[in-house]
Amino acid sequence: MKSLHFCLLFMIVSFTVSRPVEAQDQAGFISLDCGLVPKETTYVETSTNITYKSDANYTDSGLVGKINDAHKTLVQQPLWALRSFPEGERNCYNFNLTVNSTYLIRGTFLYGNYDGLNQSPSFDLHIGASKWTSVNIVGVTDTVMPEIIHVLTQKRLQVCLVKTGKTTPFISSLELRPLINNIYIAESGSMVLQNRVYFPSDSTSIVRYDEDIHDRVWNPVSDDDSSSISTDLQVQTNNLYDVPQFVMKTAAIPKDASAPWSLVWTIDNTTALSYVYMHFAEIQDLKANDLREFDITYNGGKLWFSQFRPNKLSILTMFSQVPLTSSNGEYNFTFEMTSNSTLPPLINALEIYTGLEILQLQTDKDEVSAMMNIKTTYDLSKKISWQGDPCAPQLYRWEGLDCSYPDTEASRIISLNLNASGLNGTITSDITKLTQLSELDLSNNDLSGEIPEFFTDMKLLKLINLSGNPKLNLTVPDSLQQRVNNKSLTLILGEKVKMNPTAKKESKKVPIVPIAASVAGVFALIVILAIFFIVKGKKGKSAEGPPLSVTSGTAKSETRSSNPSIMRKDRKITYPQVLKMTNNFERVLGKGGFGTVYHGNMEDAQVAVKMLSHSSAQGYKEFKAEVELLLRVHHRHLVGLVGYCDDGDNLALIYEYMANGDLRENMLGKRGGNVLTWENRMQIAVEAAQGLEYLHNGCTPPMVHRDVKTTNILLNAQCGAKLADFGLSRSFPIDGECHVSTVVAGTPGYLDPEYYRTNWLSEKSDVYSFGVVLLEIVTNQPVINQTRERPHINEWVGFMLSKGDIKSIVDPKLMGDYDTNGAWKIVELGLACVNPSSNLRPTMAHVVIELNECVAFENARRQGSEEMYTRSSTNFSHTSASEFSPGAR
């Protein structure tokens, strides 16, 4: 067996890159030359055309340094300067970005003996509250370039350098690049690059911007057992991944075509979840009888894909639907020619990632914002070492804070001690955003102004220490005094105690209790309170019911009170808030059997509010199922849940707003009368299929939607499609069984007849419903029409096709502007999906692959290079998919 081995390292020898091409748009790029001075300086790096600027505005610590002059000729300008962090354990860069957006983040480290110590620095790199990687510099001129693809859960992002030994952390450059959301998908939301390679014949150049518009770094790989082929022709690379032309115009093939050929690599962390992306394109000019077809297996013969044929001069990306694991950390992907093939396997490019394990949740985003504002208001950056996430990880919690650390929710700040921190000015209202605060110490500062009344509304606040602030007006607001009087709050004002205006004179006649006694009393009270809260917490936990779950099986009656965990989610919204965001239900977006959907506004974003009608057949069971599902699944083609209301009899689901309504409305011309183009329809079909395929293969446990139909496919302002309405969704087993018994639910016309007949539910039931949707997309015909010779759309399409004329069923509104090959393919795919036998239906992974080919046909047509498509080439009877079956884009 011939094998191509390569190491997974962050090291590169130099900063050499491929030739620059025409300038690309750098919108959203953040390119920091760390240590660049003066801080207003910017420059364009000549080999990449990237504009760099100083990092000074993104961090408030560190020292500027420069590598030894002797090493400058080996590297490009972004590595000449650096910033080191000799003080503090954790030092961070801070960014304000867009929540839920995806960024490629890369740090570059070149020691260059900047300090004259000839050391080998070693330290950790954190992203938010989680460890990203360890940076270990071996040689003076070695360059380390760790990279991560990270999904932001908050708008604030911190990249932190953490001291782990005696050497000083440093960084040469830091780069952030926006990516299309969810093209790289990990269970944890973020993934660490292990390697990204391509296979040139005579080039050792690293490929990055502006060959790669996303500025990914592609490393060249070759060995003695493989050869490289290349083409001068243009390769169509405009799928979601935008792999560079320079990369896709080359490919590796084995020298011995008759023997199996393997790509082998090893990952040090044997418990890591791995994600593999392979990019293919046929770049040779094949003769009439030539065929390149091969099987791909994984670690010991597990089938990854069979009978694979690369597209001619067009990219196809294969990626693992679920994360891969290896007990010894070794991965072996074997490529072997099929018996029909005349040409050996090939591969153009490969990306390997591991999921980033999130061991601790970050601090609540509102509290992070509050603490950042407090830091700015009192100019604390030079007085206190506040870097990174306030509470997490616990080892690096901010000085003066105590936090709670719940298992499934964000950390919260419960104590803030700013004693003798040089505070001046008034007491900031940002403190009120620390809603879980129980103790606040602002003593021995230079605060002025009034004691704010907002302390009264902080119901969990048990202790406030304002002593030692000589400029502070110690008059206590009446409402706050009431809390002091009923002993729900201890207020320490020191030797100038003024409880209220009427007590002013009286206080002069009463001896002052020594401050030491006050502190001793307060300490005792704190101990008592701590014991009380610990006991209360234990009682609270023991009183909790079982967590809310969505299970498959025969439907049973249930009471709302038996499912308290839904109440504990942090996206719960009150009914008065619902009234406010909808302006008292002013604008109706639509109505259905569940109730009415209203337009709303929430935090400057538009939302859709679905109110459950009291007479709706969709009850609390379906409501909680949808909430629970959407709180744990995240995909760019599933409608996102913004929040929910479970307030007495008022049940509401708050979704992201989809400006263009549902697919059925658009097909019927009810959204402004514009006809959906064939290109629109193909893209909508692909995106809806990807969302459904994610439910089947990307969730743990997998989910069956049970109500796939055109009215549950929603379109945003750009006609991007998202699957919606998960109230009937159910989990299905993953341990050897492929179906569950459950009460039949769904919509007539879309309902799988096998499921209806047997009550056995499987993911193939969704495939049937999606097949009906595909036929609707092509024909724009109602699913059931009693006036037709064949009432059901499945039967009607089959009947019409028996006459051999695709034009007789394609939507006449398209006026013939569609790809005939793609139309045949999508109709046959739809008919395969609605096969009466579920065993003969394709999986959603296959459906996604086939639909991508339909998109490719349409793209080729628009570029004037339409190719013939033979209908007999589609065969769904084989079983090429397994749990390792890749998706394709």
Q: Which residues are annotated as a binding site for ATP?
A: 610
Contacts 24+ apart (CB under 8 A), 772-776: 772/709, 772/830, 772/833, 772/834, 773/663, 773/685, 773/688, 773/708, 773/709, 773/710, 773/713, 774/685, 774/826, 774/827, 774/829, 774/830, 774/833, 775/827, 775/830, 775/831, 775/834, 776/664, 776/667, 776/710
At 395, is the secondary structure helix, strand, or coil? helix
Report the C-alpha gap between 437 and 834 in whole angstroms: 57
Distance CA 370, CA 373 (A): 5
Q: Which residues contact 186 (CB under 8 A, 6 or more apart)?
A: 149, 273, 275, 323, 353, 355, 356
> Based on C-alpha coordinates, what's the Rg of the chain?
31
Known binding-site positions: 610
3-state DSSP percent of the chain in helix, strand and coil, to 5: 25, 25, 45
Residue 540 carries which side chain, given as an amino acid letter?
A: G
Cis peptide bond upstream of 210, omega within 30: yes
**Dihedral over Cα of 749, 753, 758, 764: its sign:** negative
Q: Which of 403, 395, 396, 394 lies closest to 367, judged by CA?
A: 403
Which of 690, 675, 662 has its CA nearest to residue 851?
Answer: 690
Pairing of strands 472-473, 316-320: unpaired
Sequence-distant (≥ 6) Cβ neighbours of residue 52 within 8 angstroms: 31, 32, 33, 36, 42, 43, 44, 45, 77, 78, 173
Measured in whole angstroms, how far is the alpha carbon of residue 712 from the centre of its chain?
A: 23
Give the containing element (helix H, strand E) for 820. Answer: helix 820-833
Whether 707 sits among the annotated catalytic residues: the reply is yes
Number of Cα atoms under 13 Å in the Cβ half of residue 311: 26
Alpha carbon distance 185, 146 (integer Å): 19
In angstroms, the CA 750 to CA 738 distance is: 20
Strands 50-54 vs 42-45: parallel, antiparallel or unpaired: antiparallel
Q: In a 10 Å sphere around its CB, with 0-12 CB exposed, 13-18 middle and 19+ buried, how is residue 724 labelled?
A: buried
* 144 touches 108 (CB < 8 A): yes
| Residue in 55, 662, 707, 819 annotated catalytic | 707
Residue linked to tokens 């959407």: 630
Nearest to 410 by CA among 439, 445, 368: 368
Judge contact between 484 and 499, C-beta under 8 A: yes
Sequence-distant (≥ 6) Cβ neighbours of residue 146 within 8 angstroms: 10, 106, 107, 125, 132, 133, 135, 192, 193
Reading the block at residue 396, the tokens are: 């690096």
Evaluate the CA torsion angle 372, 375, 381, 386 in order and state its sign. negative
413: β partners? 403
854 Cβ contact partners less than 8 Å away, ≥ 6 residues apart: 682, 685, 686, 819, 822, 825, 826, 829
Rounded Cα distance between 823 and 774, Å, is 10
Q: Look at residue 611 and give its three-state secondary structure.
A: strand
Closest among 448, 238, 481 to 464, alpha carbons compared:
481
Residue 823 CB neighbour total at 10 angstroms: 23
Asked if residues 424 and 379 have their Cβ atoms less than 8 Å apart, the reply is no
Give every CB contact of residue 653 below 8 A, 6+ residues apart in sequence.
609, 610, 612, 623, 626, 627, 641, 644, 645
Just list the catalytic residues: 707
